[in-house]
Chain A
Amino acid sequence: MNKIFEVPLYPYAHHADQDAPAPVRRKVVVIGAGPIGLAAAIDLAQQGTEVVVLDDNDKVSFGSRAICFAKRPLEILDRLGCGQPMVDKGVQWHTGKVFFDDRQVYEFNLLPEKGHKRPAFINLQQYYFEEHLVNRVRELQEQGAPIEIRGRNKVSAIGTHPSHVTLEVDTPEGPYNLEADWLIACDGAGSPTRQMLGLDFVGRVFEDNFLIADVIMEADFPTERWFWFDPPFNKGQSALLHKQPDGVWRIDLQLGWDIDKEREKRPENVIPRLQAMLGEDVKFELEWVSIYTFQCRRMEKFRHGRVIFAGDSAHQVSPFGARGANSGLQDTDNLCWKLKLVMDGKAPESLLDSYDVERIHGADENILNSSRSTDFITPKSEISRVLRDAVLDLSEQYEFARPLVNSGRLSVPCTYDGSPLNSADALNGPERTRPGSPCPDVPLADGFLLDKLGDRFTLLTIDADAPDEIEESGIKVTRLALSIKDDKTLALQERYLGKLESGVYLIRPDQHVAARRPSFDETQFRHAIRRAIGKE
């Protein structure tokens, strides 16, 4: 079979920067060509900002790794011009089954809310995800966008200065020096950048090991998510079965903390476990096995002068709820438009501090949710196990107990409540679109709302008058005029107006609400724009 993760996708190539007599200064350097680094680079390049991605490898992720991509990241990928191939390739599922001990306790259907372009989430191997991002990079390069990926370029030293960052880069042909106005570190949980700068990574809450196996099954298993608590084939632990594209199934077996990793990874130990889980007569082939260790922790702050951390390098969570790559994509979504404004001199550097405020809020929410899932899945005391088992036993007979079953809470984007970029809510419309919220999608007569938002500031008017464009502090804000008269599904009414008759929303380039009022008030919206770019 075609193992995409074994083929170099961005092989090493000599670059003129390596021969320059003095270090060449680049606008933005991104360290790491994983999902987050590539997303950051695409976002910046789309806006015309020069960006160089350095990666110590030359291939996409080895093995499936991150496999669940939630709706919000898919919406961000749409903005980055590569959502569709991901959704086309990905697997969607709606039915989940929960098992406890040797029996199924219940089955559920996700019933996602209607009226969104994107599904609640898709399952897709990280290597496909990265491949589609690399394809998008190539497409941008063909269009002349200033973006490049340098494979087998390993950063070995970093110097920080008030106006720039210096880098020492190792290549197969020897080292060279490079400078960058800004550095974005997307080099993963073990971030060498973080270590080179001697920065903290505190708040370890939890440690565990997971055996992760990709198997190709001949059996016609249904496209469902199966989660086991305390199953006979993995006593006292948990297990998860998930479908991926190409007939590949992902199996996560929790192993606990005190184990011999090398021993557990050997096929002669893995195969009997999987056989017991899948059933004696199921034939399967083992594609990839890995042991994954995780912690729950984050950096105290993500921005350190001209070095900015995003994704796992800044925060790490347990895998329950798929909050790793999903939150990392929201980091770069939040960061890139701000960095662009600062680089263009349209916003003060302090705008970048709001990246810290907003994404630390997001990281804390993710750490809280995934820690709660972890507490449920692996009870840490006798009484927490008694309570957990009580929930599972009750869930078999009574519907009320099922919401308490926590095998991972679906990753949903956080609302930046209390952000300094928000203006006070002057509309008092629906809770879900209050300032700080990510805009929920809405079906329109000619497509979907989110496809019309993003990459710039937008003034969304619903049955309200406003100029087609206003300019404030060098920021052009264009109007998107909608009417309830065209709102056949009533989703616009329900999500943006509630009981009100009109509304005007100021929407940020990352599709978050900055301000809202019942009608257009020029003075107030000028204040709101200034506030949203860190000028008030």
Chain B
Amino acid sequence: MTETDQLILTANTERADDFYADLLAAHEGLSKDESDALNARLVLVLANHIGKRAILKQALAAAALKTGEDSA
């Protein structure tokens, strides 16, 4: 596996607090259904940007929180 096929699980988000605030703001005023839909669209947009299947598979595994080693 090349380095670019490796999911980044160390801190990598620029201005993390700002991003988090943007994420909350995007959901403000939305119903539960609308928020679910927004999240789904966001996942698809981000997944397309990443593109690589190997990374997406690692991301799915990491999000599932099933194993300790994925977040190491």
* Cβ A400 vs Cβ B41 within 8 A: no
Of B36, B40, B43, B48, which is within 8 A of A400 by CB? B48
Tell me the total A-B contact number using a CB cutoff of 8 A.
26
Confirm or deny: B45 has a beta carbon within 8 angstroms of a beta carbon on chain A: yes
* Cβ A390 vs Cβ B48 within 8 A: no
Q: What string of 1s and 0s marks CB contacts (under 8 Å) between A379-403 and chain B? A: 0000100110111011000101100
Interface of A: prevailing SS: helix
**Cα-based distance from A488 to B40 in the complex (angstroms):** 48
**Cα-based distance from A391 to B41 in the complex (angstroms):** 7
**Cα-based distance from A398 to B36 in the complex (angstroms):** 19
* Cβ A404 vs Cβ B37 within 8 A: no
Which residues of A lie under 8 Å from residue B36 when comparing CB positions? Answer: 383, 386
Which residues of B lie under 8 Å from residue A391 when comparing CB positions? Answer: 44
* Cβ A386 vs Cβ B48 within 8 A: no
Q: What string of 1s and 0s marks CB contacts (under 8 Å) between B9-43 and chain A? A: 00000000000000000000000000011001101
* Cβ A386 vs Cβ B44 within 8 A: no
Which residues of A lie under 8 Å from residue B44 when comparing CB positions? Answer: 387, 390-391, 394, 401, 404
**Nearest Cβ on chain B to A92's Cβ, whole angstroms:** 32
* Cβ A401 vs Cβ B40 within 8 A: no
Q: How many of B's residues come within 8 Å of A, CB to CB?
A: 8
Which residues of chain B in 26-72 are interfacial with respect to chain A, using CB atoms and an 8 Å cutoff?
36-37, 40-41, 43-45, 48
Which residues of chain A in 451-502 are interfacial with respect to chain B, using CB atoms and an 8 Å cutoff?
none
Which residues of B lie under 8 Å from residue A389 when comparing CB positions? Answer: 37, 40
Which residues of A lie under 8 Å from residue B37 when comparing CB positions? Answer: 386, 389-390, 393
**Cα-based distance from A389 to B44 in the complex (angstroms):** 11
**Nearest Cβ on chain B to A48's Cβ, whole angstroms:** 49
Across the two chains, which residue of chain B brings its CB closest to A382?
B36
**Cα-based distance from A389 to B43 in the complex (angstroms):** 13
**Nearest Cβ on chain A to B10's Cβ, whole angstroms:** 27
**Nearest Cβ on chain A to B48's Cβ, whole angstroms:** 4
Across the two chains, which residue of chain A brings its CB closest to B41?
A390
Which residues of A lie under 8 Å from residue B45 when comparing CB positions? Answer: 394, 398, 400
**Cα-based distance from A390 to B40 in the complex (angstroms):** 6
Across the two chains, which residue of chain A brings its CB closest to B40?
A390
**Cα-based distance from A20 to B28 in the complex (angstroms):** 85
Which residues of chain A in 389-440 are interfacial with respect to chain B, using CB atoms and an 8 Å cutoff?
389-391, 393-394, 398, 400-401, 404
**Cα-based distance from A383 to B36 in the complex (angstroms):** 9
Across the two chains, which residue of chain A brings its CB closest to B48?
A400
* Cβ B48 vs Cβ A387 within 8 A: no
Which residues of B lie under 8 Å from residue A393 when comparing CB positions? Answer: 37, 41
**Cα-based distance from A233 to B38 in the complex (angstroms):** 26
Which residues of B lie under 8 Å from residue A390 when comparing CB positions? Answer: 37, 40-41, 43-44
**Cα-based distance from A404 to B45 in the complex (angstroms):** 12
**Additional A-B contact list (4), CB under 8 Å, known A390-B40, A390-B41, A391-B44:** A389-B40, A394-B41, A401-B48, A404-B44
A–B pairs, 26, beta carbons within 8 Å: A383-B36, A386-B36, A386-B37, A386-B40, A387-B40, A387-B43, A387-B44, A389-B37, A389-B40, A390-B37, A390-B40, A390-B41, A390-B43, A390-B44, A391-B44, A393-B37, A393-B41, A394-B41, A394-B44, A394-B45, A398-B45, A400-B45, A400-B48, A401-B44, A401-B48, A404-B44
Please give the residue numbers on chain B whose beta carbons come within 8 Å of chain A beta carbons, in ascending order: 36-37, 40-41, 43-45, 48
What are the 5 tightest A-B residue pairs by CB atom distance, in nearest-first order?
A: A390-B40, A400-B48, A390-B41, A386-B40, A387-B40
